[in-house]
């Protein structure tokens, strides 16, 4: 029973080192977003994203993307409470996009809107069935220290209730406050802890910080698990709100293998089926159809402390097929090779440079974008 209570206490401690065990801290939410790759955040944003896409191309887009839970959280901070956070799974797995389209002369060229849902989101550790078991295994050593020290001090204090109360107060601060270091404890309590772990502890050791670090590492492993989304979107022409295309998309990504201490490779596959306006026919309809499938790998490089991606390079191949509405002299299918270099300028700003190569036409195209992620959560 003591072990269960200790694990539960440390579980809540990992979320908040202050005396607010039911609040999911804002910096914890930010960390979950920051340790995700730029490729992942383009697929499913945790908060909000502003993007200027294809700045050097003929079809430029100003895009606003939002997670639906982030919108609710902005208007209702009480959703930051753990049980509310967990109950809002549908909203956390939903994204909406709004685009303002511009032509090569930066003139209005229509709008587009879309909705995306993560049908498989193993990265959402808040509802993962195995998360608690994995965390319990990772925190096992800390739980044993907590129980052993408590039992040892109870024997030392004996019937001296004042001494036992003083121990409980000091030890609980050490367990829950990451600013309380080992060196600030009484000599007697230090000796008991050292005898329990069979070594001399570092003077700057913080039990609470260690628990949070372990929790963070477990969370980090979930940020490389499978994400699979489905989406629908539509666009209009510039001269009126008449549909120019209707797209249905499915995309999946997950980390595959580590390639070094600070890097790993993740796969990325995407399929899109589009209903397009046949511009060769009078009137406007969506009778022309196109299938695009893309697959490849994204190489992620993290910073020195292995916490945040800073550079990414994605290589993919795209296959395009026109099953209906083929134009005269148009190829029914073609392949392109693509490369995207993403540079992280700040925590929130990414600059992707996308290169496409058509091997048959031997054409090389480059597209520069600018993407800013933000949360609007305010201060920690």
Range 91-96 contact pairs with CB under 8 angstroms and sequence separation of 24 or more:
91/67, 92/67, 92/68, 92/124, 92/126, 93/44, 93/117, 93/118, 93/121, 93/124, 94/67, 94/68, 94/69, 94/118, 95/44, 95/45, 95/65, 95/66, 95/67, 95/68, 95/231, 96/65, 96/66, 96/68
Burial label for 218, CB within 10 Å (0-12, 13-18, 19+), is: middle
Q: In this predicted model, what pLDDT tens digit does every residue of 23-41 receive, in sequence order?
A: 444 455 555 556 678 888 8
Does the structure show a pLDDT above 50 at 16? no
Burial label for 289, CB within 10 Å (0-12, 13-18, 19+), is: middle
Percent of the chain at pLDDT > 90 equals 26
Instruction: Judge contact between 367 and 52, C-beta under 8 A.
Output: no
What is the rounded average pLDDT of the residues 163-187?
A: 86
Q: In this predicted model, what pLDDT tens digit does every residue of 209-248 receive, in sequence order?
A: 888 888 878 877 777 889 999 999 999 887 767 788 999 9
Architecture of domain 35-123+223-371: Beta Barrel (2.40)
Report the chain's terminal Cα–Cα distance, integer Å.
34
Higher pLDDT among residues 279 and 111, named by residue: 111
Higher pLDDT among residues 75 and 345, named by residue: 345
Q: If you average pLDDT over each of 43-52, 64-73, 265-274, which comes out highest?
A: 265-274
Q: Within 13 Å, how many C-alpha atoms sit on residue 186's CB side?
A: 12
* DSSP designation for 325: -
Does the structure show a pLDDT above 50 at 19? no
Q: Which band of pLDDT confidence, cut at 50, 70 and 90, is reported for residue 10?
A: low
Q: Which band of pLDDT confidence, cut at 50, 70 and 90, is reported for residue 180?
A: confident
Domain segments of the chain as ranges = 35-123+223-371, 132-217
Q: How far is CA 82 from the centre of its chain?
A: 18
């Amino acid at each position: 029973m003591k072990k269960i209570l200790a694990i539960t206490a440390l579980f809540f401690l990992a979320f908040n080192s202050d005396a607010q065990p039911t609040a999911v801290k804002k910096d914890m939410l930010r960390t979950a977003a920051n340790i995700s790759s730029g490729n992942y955040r383009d697929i499913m944003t945790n908060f909000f994203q502003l993007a200027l896409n294809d700045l050097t191309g003929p079809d430029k887009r100003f895009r606003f993307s939002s997670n639906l839970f982030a919108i609710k959280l902005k208007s209702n901070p009480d959703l930051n409470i753990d049980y509310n956070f967990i109950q809002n799974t549908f909203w956390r797995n939903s994204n909406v996009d709004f685009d303002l389209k511009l032509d090569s002369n930066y003139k209005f060229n229509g709008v587009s809107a879309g909705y995306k849902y993560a049908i498989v989101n193993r990265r959402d550790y808040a509802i993962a069935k195995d998360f608690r078991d994995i965390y319990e295994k990772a925190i096992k050593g800390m739980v044993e220290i907590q129980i052993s020290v408590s039992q040892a001090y109870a024997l030392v204090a004996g019937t001296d209730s004042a001494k036992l109360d003083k121990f409980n107060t000091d030890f609980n601060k050490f367990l829950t406050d990451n600013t309380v270091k080992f060196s600030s404890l009484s000599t007697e309590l230090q000796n008991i802890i050292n005898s329990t772990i069979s070594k001399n502890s570092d003077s700057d050791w913080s039990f609470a910080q260690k628990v949070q670090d372990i929790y963070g590492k477990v969370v980090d492993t979930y940020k490389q698990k499978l994400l699979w989304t489905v989406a629908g979107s539509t666009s209009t022409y510039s001269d009126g709100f008449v549909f120019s295309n209707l797209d249905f998309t499915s995309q999946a990504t997950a980390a595959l293998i580590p390639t070094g201490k600070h890097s790993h490779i993740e796969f990325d596959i995407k399929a899109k089926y589009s209903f397009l306006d046949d511009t060769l026919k009078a009137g406007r309809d969506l009778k022309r159809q196109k299938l695009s499938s893309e697959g490849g790998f994204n190489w992620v490089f993290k910073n020195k402390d292995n916490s945040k991606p800073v550079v990414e390079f994605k290589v993919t191949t795209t296959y395009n097929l026109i099953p209906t509405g083929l134009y005269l002299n148009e190829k029914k299918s073609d392949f392109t090779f693509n490369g995207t270099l993403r540079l992280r300028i700040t925590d929130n700003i990414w600059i992707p440079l996308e290169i496409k190569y058509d091997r048959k036409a031997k054409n090389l195209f480059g597209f520069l974008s600018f993407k800013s992620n933000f949360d609007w959560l305010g201060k920690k």
